[in-house]
């Protein structure tokens, strides 16, 4: 029973029991003495006066001595033991002024921490080579996946997101790990596709609308009890220019070969002029193609990918084009098959000029008639998709194919836009551990959290306002790389005293989002997550006070690192962010101190290091930590209590005096 009490309280009870025992023995002794004197016919009043004097002097003296010994013991033994215990659990032992009173315990604890640090360093070095191999494999995986032009999203069996790339973040604004993907897709497209997978299909096509109304198309595949979705923007259809462009191409493609067959009746100068005009017409058509292909959204693909299954001539230039690889490669192979069926053996060549790639199927001999090419383009390259003809593939890419003769050879010409060189590699955000299952865990190391901090116009929750807010997402005990940071226009001047602390001026927030816009965006970022803050009553008080204006309510569960620090080092230790960082060996860069993102980052590192220390004390789950933290209400408010409102600690309250804003 007593083991659940803190060390200081247990020691206090021991000394209180000792004082009670001394007073009890004194009472018994006085009673025995009184009985003995009364048998000797001594005056009763005199007996009582004497005994009262003795009891007062001896009792008060004994209690004073015991209280003094308890105070010295508490200050010089119990408190240092709590600090050393917290340091041992976190691996960080700092100088404790009272440690000399513990004889060799203080140096021994410091030696143990240093030995632990040496062991950790040795283990880290032993793992360095293995980690280097893992890192190379990770970078290879990231480079492969990041280069996917489509939006890639992986979900676990519960339908929650465990991976997405940068293209997906553009398609689904606000996407985040450990969120149900169905909230970003409108209608029943996901449900229907999942039903097809459940029926036995390895993968299936789907067309869907985002929650914002954007149409996407792609493919869903079953993988590790979850799904992998590859989604793209469907290219815009341009029906009117397509017909006109085809007419021009047909005329331009047939004019020059016909002139080659003309005989002498036409004067050479006229023939040259007609030939020149015909070539000019072809060039104009190419220019029109260039302009029309400028806004077609396509994926990035290499020449070798487009030429897969075709005979590509050697020494071709190396470049990438903007095209849908499966569709365009299927069309080129479809044309190649038809040419070979007609007794023609084509080869593929390519050239690049002025931001345009020109792909050609070349063969010796005469060009094919346009009506035959038209018939081939009217057929579907993939019999499994009969609705997708060659014309539709070209229209989706806002381009076309035509036949022409050049330098004694016939060719089919296909222009495609070049992809920009040095295009930025898309980033990745993932946590594959989330795919281990959908069971909800309340262990601190398993929680999805957002560690956040605010900067304000002052410290009065009732009247001051937020000027900056930032948050970092944690999942499964690590930073995911997802962050939120914004300045906030408070709608009033920022006092110079506050500016001296956080450096935010009226000019910096003049064009910043207002309170409603900023907090609505932050609410979307923290949805379903546990909020973590240092001195949470202040930051949560600012958010809850602002809800009266913004109607944005934060009902997330909250963890306060001040309370976690008290659970590790005891209430009597200082718990400011600077002191907590010092005890945990966290360095806060001077330029980041008192910035929302800098303080949030320091708080996140402290939280992650405190998890292990709390686990060593048997506090592994969120509900256990919150229950234990309620014993420290004298130190700071419990913001998970429904009774806690915007009336948070003011200057001079214990929470403010022990921690300040940060």
CA 115-116-117 angle, to 5 degrees, is 90
| 3-state SS string for 457-520 | CCCCCCCCCEEEEEEEEEECCEEEEEEEEEECECCCCCCHHHHHHHCCCHHHHCCCCEHHHHHH
Strands (E), 259-319: 300-302
CA 547, CA 646: separation in Å to the nearest integer?
Answer: 10
Q: Give the residues across from 472 on adjacent strands.
A: 451, 483
Decide: 432 and 150 in contact? Cβ < 8 Å.
no
CA 235-417-242 angle, to 5 degrees, is 50
Decide: 202 and 189 in contact? Cβ < 8 Å.
no
CA 161, CA 170: separation in Å to the nearest integer?
Answer: 15
Our answer to whether residue 594 is catalytic in this structure is: yes
Using CA atoms, how far residue 111 sits from 94, 100, 105, in Å, is: 11, 15, 10
448: tokens are: 């999805």
Decide: 490 and 515 in contact? Cβ < 8 Å.
yes
Q: What is the torsion angle, in degrees rounded to the nearest 10, for the CA atoms of residue 169, residue 170, residue 175 and residue 177?
A: 0
DSSP state of 368: P
Using CA atoms, how far residue 118 sits from 105, 125, 611, in Å, is: 20, 11, 21
Strands (E), 96-225: 151-155, 161-165, 185-186, 203-210, 215-223
90: tokens are: 């976190």
* H-helix or E-strand spanning residue 586: none
CA 620, CA 609: separation in Å to the nearest integer?
Answer: 13
Of 334, 502, 575, 594, which one is the catalytic site residue? 594
Decide: 273 and 296 in contact? Cβ < 8 Å.
no
Decide: 200 and 188 in contact? Cβ < 8 Å.
no
* H-helix or E-strand spanning residue 362: strand 356-364
Decide: 532 and 450 in contact? Cβ < 8 Å.
yes
Using CA atoms, how far residue 645 sits from 348, 544, 598, 661, in Å, is: 72, 7, 27, 18
Decide: 184 and 211 in contact? Cβ < 8 Å.
yes
572: tokens are: 């009597």
Catalytic residue numbers, as ranges? 594
């Amino acid at each position: 029973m007593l083991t659940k009490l803190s060390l200081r309280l247990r020691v206090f009870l021991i000394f209180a029991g000792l004082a009670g025992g001394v007073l009890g023995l004194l009472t018994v002794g006085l009673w025995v003495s009184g009985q003995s004197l009364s048998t000797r016919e001594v005056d009763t009043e005199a007996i009582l006066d004497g005994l009262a004097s003795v009891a007062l002097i001896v009792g008060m003296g004994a209690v004073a001595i015991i209280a003094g010994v308890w105070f010295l013991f508490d200050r010089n033994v119990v408190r240092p033991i709590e600090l050393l215990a917290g340091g041992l659990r976190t691996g960080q032992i700092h100088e404790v002024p009272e440690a000399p009173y513990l004889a060799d315990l203080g140096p021994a604890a410091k030696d143990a921490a240093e030995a632990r640090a040496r062991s950790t360093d040795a283990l880290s070095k032993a793992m360095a080579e293995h980690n280097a191999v893992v890192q190379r494999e990770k970078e290879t995986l990231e480079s492969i996946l990041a280069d996917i032009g489509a939006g890639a999203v992986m979900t676990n069996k519960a339908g929650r997101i465990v991976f997405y790339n940068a293209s997906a973040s553009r398609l689904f604004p606000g996407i985040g790990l450990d969120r149900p993907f169905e909230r970003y897709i409108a209608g029943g497209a996901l449900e229907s596709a999942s039903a097809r997978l459940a029926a036995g299909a390895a993968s299936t096509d789907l067309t869907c609308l985002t929650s914002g109304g954007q149409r996407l198309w792609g493919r869903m595949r079953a993988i590790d009890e979850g799904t992998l979705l590859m989604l793209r923007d469907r290219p815009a259809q341009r029906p009117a220019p397509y017909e006109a462009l085809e007419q021009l191409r047909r005329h331009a493609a047939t004019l020059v070969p016909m002139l080659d067959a003309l005989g002498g009746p036409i004067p050479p100068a006229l023939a040259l002029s007609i030939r020149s005009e015909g070539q000019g017409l072809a060039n104009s058509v190419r220019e029109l193609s260039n302009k029309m292909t400028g806004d077609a959204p396509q994926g990035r693909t290499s020449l070798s990918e487009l030429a897969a299954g075709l005979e590509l001539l050697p020494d071709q230039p190396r470049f990438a084009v903007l095209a849908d690889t499966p569709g365009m490669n299927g069309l080129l192979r479809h044309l190649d098959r038809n040419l070979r069926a007609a007794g023609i053996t084509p080869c593929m060549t390519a050239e690049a000029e002025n931001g345009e790639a020109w792909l050609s199927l070349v063969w010796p001999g005469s060009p094919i008639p346009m009506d035959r090419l038209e018939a081939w383009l009217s057929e579907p390259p993939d019999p499994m998709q009969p609705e997708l003809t060659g014309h539709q593939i070209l229209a989706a890419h806002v381009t076309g194919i035509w036949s022409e003769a050049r330098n004694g050879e016939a060719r089919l010409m296909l222009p495609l836009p070049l992809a920009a060189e040095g295009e930025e590699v898309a980033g990745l955000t993932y946590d594959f551990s989330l795919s281990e299952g959908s069971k909800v865990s309340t262990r601190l190391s398993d929680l999805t959290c957002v560690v956040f901090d605010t900067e304000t116009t002052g410290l009065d929750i009732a009247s001051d306002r937020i000027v900056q807010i930032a948050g970092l997402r944690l999942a499964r005990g690590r930073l995911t790389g997802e962050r939120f940071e914004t300045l906030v226009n408070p709608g009033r001047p920022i006092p110079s005293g506050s500016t001296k602390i956080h450096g935010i001026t009226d000019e910096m927030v003049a064009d910043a989002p207002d309170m409603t816009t900023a907090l609505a965006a932050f609410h979307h970022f923290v949805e379903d997550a546990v909020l973590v803050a240092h001195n949470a009553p202040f930051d949560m008080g600012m958010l809850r006070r602002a809800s009266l204006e913004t109607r944005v309510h934060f009902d997330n569960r909250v963890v306060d690192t001040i309370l976690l620090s008290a659970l590790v080092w005891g209430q009597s230790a200082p718990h400011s962010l600077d002191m907590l960082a010092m005890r945990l060996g966290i360095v806060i860069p001077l330029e980041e101190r008192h910035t929302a993102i800098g303080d949030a980052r320091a708080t996140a590192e402290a939280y992650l290091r405190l998890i292990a220390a709390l686990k060593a004390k048997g506090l592994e789950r969120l509900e256990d930590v919150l229950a234990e933290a309620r014993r420290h209400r004298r130190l700071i408010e419990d913001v998970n209590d429904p009774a806690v409102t915007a009336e948070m600690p003011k200057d001079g309250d214990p929470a403010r005096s022990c921690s300040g804003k940060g």
